[in-house]
Chains A and B, each alone.
Chain A
Amino acid sequence: MSAVSSWVSETLVRDATERRIFAVLGLITVLLVAGVFAGVIGPRFLLFQIALVGMYALLSLGLNVQWGYAGLINFSVAAFWGIGAYCAALLTAPNSPLGLGLHPVFGFLAAIVVSALIAVLIGIPTLRLREDYLAIASLGLAEVIRAIILNERRWTAGSSGISGIPNLMSWLPLTDAATTAAIVVVLIAVVYLFLRRVHRSPWGRVLRTIRSDEDLAKALGKDTYRFKMQAFVIGSVIMAVAGAFYAHLNLYIDPSDLVPLTTFYIWIAVILGGTGSNRGAVVGAAVVIAIREGTRFLNDIGFIQTLGIDLAPLRLLFVGGLIILIMRFRQDGLLPPKDELIWPAARDGSRSGGASPSSAAPDGGTAPNGGDDR
C-alpha cells in the first residue's frame, strides 16, 4: 500500500495544485460510479464512454509525441486515426468491400504498417524544411485521406460506411462493453509505459532540444531529421492504433468523423493537459471528452429546459471558455511536464537526492554512489 502511494506521489502527483486536480477528477469518477449504482447512468453507457475517453487519450498521447516532445505541427490527427479505423474495418468486417473477415490482429497490424508508411512519406519532403511545411502538408493530407475514403467507394464503401465490424475478444467472460473498456485500459498502459521509457532518455532529450532550438541540436551533431521522423512515425502509429480500436468499439465507421474538428479536439486535449506531458495528455483527453459528451445531456436538465434554449450545440463555446480559463490560471496546462529528461536508472546511482530535482537543494550529489537503489 505504501509502495502504491509513494508511486502515486512521485509519478502522478507532484504538487498541491496537482493534488487538487486529481481530487476533482477522483470525485467525478466517484459520482459517475455512484450514478451507475443509483440507476441514473447505464453501466453500458459508462463503459462505452470510458472506452471513448481511452481512445482519445491514445490520440492525445500520439500527438504529444509529435507536438509535445518534438514540436512537430501535425494537423492530420483525424487522418491517421481514420487510416487506423479503416484498416481495421476493411480487413475484419465480413461485409466490407474487401470482404475478408480477418482476425482483428491483422487490422491492427495493417493500421500500424500503413500509418507508419504514410507518416514516412509525408515526413520525407517536409521534415528537412522549416516546421510550417509539415503543418501545411498535414493539413492537405487530412483532406486527401478524407476525399479518398469518401470517393473510392469501390474500396471504402464511401459515405455509407462499413458496418459489421467484429467485437474484440468476445470470448472473454465479460460484457462487450466491459471488454472494450478493459482493452483500452491495457492499450493506454502499454503506450504510456513505452512513452515513459523513450521520453526520459537521451532520445527524449534530443527531441526537447529540437523543439526549442533545432539549429542548436544540429550544431551539437544531432541528426535532427532522423529524430523528427521517429517522433512523427511513433505518434502517427499510436493514432492509427487508436483508430483501429475505435472501429472495434463503435462497430461501424464512416468518413464523417475524419473532419478537422476531431484534430482540433486532440490539440485542445494536449494543450489543456500540458504540452509535453504524458499524464497531461491523458487527463486533457478526459476533460475534453467529458465536456463534449457531457453537454449532450444539458438539455435534459429540468432547469435548463425551462430556459427554452438548446445548449448542446454550444459545446465548442464551453471548450473555448475552458481554454481561456486554463490560459489565465494555469498557463502550462493542467499537468505540465515536470521530469528532467534523464535516464532514471542512471540518476539513482550518481545522485543521492530523491526523484524531484528541485527539492534537492544546492547540489544534488553529496554521496557520489550512496547505496539507495530504490
Chain B
Amino acid sequence: MNDDAYEGARLDKDDVVLKTTGLEKAFGGLVATDDVSIEVDRGTITGMIGPNGAGKSTLFNLISGFYENDAGHVTVNGEEVTDLEPHERARKGLVRTFQTPRRLEGMSVREAMLVGPGPQKGESVFSLFFSGSDVTEEERANIEQTRELLERFEIGHLIDQPSTDLSGGQMKLVELARAFTTDPDILLLDEPVAGVNPTLANDIKRFIRELNEEGQTFLIIEHDMPFIMDLADPIIVLDQGKVLMEGSPDEVRSDDRVIEAYLGGAGP
C-alpha cells in the first residue's frame, strides 16, 4: 500500500481524554510505531484494530509509559504525561490491562482485586501504626466495593478462589474489574476477549457497555471483529505502525484499504 493511503486518525474531537501526537518507536531497524497521532473522545468506546504485528500493543506500551518513545507526545486530559513513569500515568487516570493475563501467584481473587484502588492509606507503613482506624475504614470500603463489583460481573462466587485457578475468561473479567477500581479516566484494554469462550465474551461485552453507559471511556484493542464492530465506535485502524484510517464500524468494514491491509498482510 502506498503512503498516501494512510489517512490518519480524526483529530478534531471536542472532549479529548487521551491524545498522542507523532509517537514514534523503532526496535532496531523495525519501526513499530510510525508517527501515530490519535485522539480519544470522553465517553466513547474507541476500538483499535489492525493485523498481527501492526503495532497496537507497542502503541499501548508507549501510551502507558512501559516503552520509552523515540519521539512524540502523550497527553491525558490536556496534561502532558510523556515524561512520566507508568505508575504516575496511572495516577493521572490512564490505566491499561495486558494482552496476556497477569497471574498473581499466591493471591485470592479478593486480594488480587484489592490491589486496584489507590493510593490507599494502608500502603504507607507509617499509617499502619499511627492511623490504623483510617486504614480499617478504607479497607472495609474497598472490600465492600470488591464484593459488589464481582457480584455485578457475576463472578461473586470466585472471591475466595486462588486468583491463579481461574479460566482465561474469568481472569480477564477480574482484570477488567480491578482496572475499574482504580477509578480511571480512560481504560486501555489489550484484547479483552482473546482466548475467551463466546458466552463469557458476550458477558464481557455487556459489562464494558454498562460501564461505558455510566461514563467510563475505553480504548480497546481487539482481533475479534464481530465483538469490536458491535461494541466500539469509532474504530482506529493501525497497519505497519501507522494509522490507516478512523471511522464508524460501517466505514471501516467497507474500506478497501482496511481489507487490503488484512488480506495483504505485511506485503507492499
By a beta-carbon cutoff of 8 Å, the part of chain A in contact with chain B is 197-198, 201-203, 205-206, 208-209, 211-213, 215-224, 227, 230, 234, 276, 337, 340-343, 345-347, 349-351, 357-358, 360, 362-365
Contact = CB atoms under 8 A, between A and B. Distances in A.
Interface of B: 64, 66, 85-87, 90-91, 95-98, 102-108, 110-111, 114-116, 118-125, 128-129, 132, 135-137, 139-140, 143-144, 147, 156-157, 159-160, 178-179, 182
Report which residue of B90, B103, B132, B178 has the largest number of chain A beta carbons within 10 angstroms of its beta carbon: B90
Contacts of B159: 363-364
Contacts of A208: 104, 106-107, 111
B50 to A, nearest CB: 22
A202 B120 contact: yes
Contacts of A345: 132, 135-136, 139
Given A221-B91, A343-B135, A202 B102 contact: no
B122 A343 contact: yes
Given A216-B98, A220-B116, A220-B178, A357 B108 contact: yes
The 6 A-B pairs at the shortest CB distance, nearest first, are namely A202-B122, A346-B139, A221-B90, A343-B139, A212-B105, A218-B86
Say what secondary structure dominates the interface of chain A. Answer: helix
Nearest to A362: B157
Nearest to B164: A212
A201 B91 contact: no
Given A212-B105, A357-B108, A219 B90 contact: yes
A351 B90 CA distance: 31
A277 to B, nearest CB: 10
A198 B124 CA distance: 9
A209 B115 contact: yes
A350 B136 CA distance: 11
Given A198-B125, A202-B122, A221-B182, A340 B108 contact: yes
Given A209-B104, A209-B115, A221-B118, A342 B98 contact: no
Contact of A219 (B64, B104, B124): B64
Contacts of A351: 143
A212, A227, A230: residue with the most chain B Cβ atoms closer than 10 Å: A212
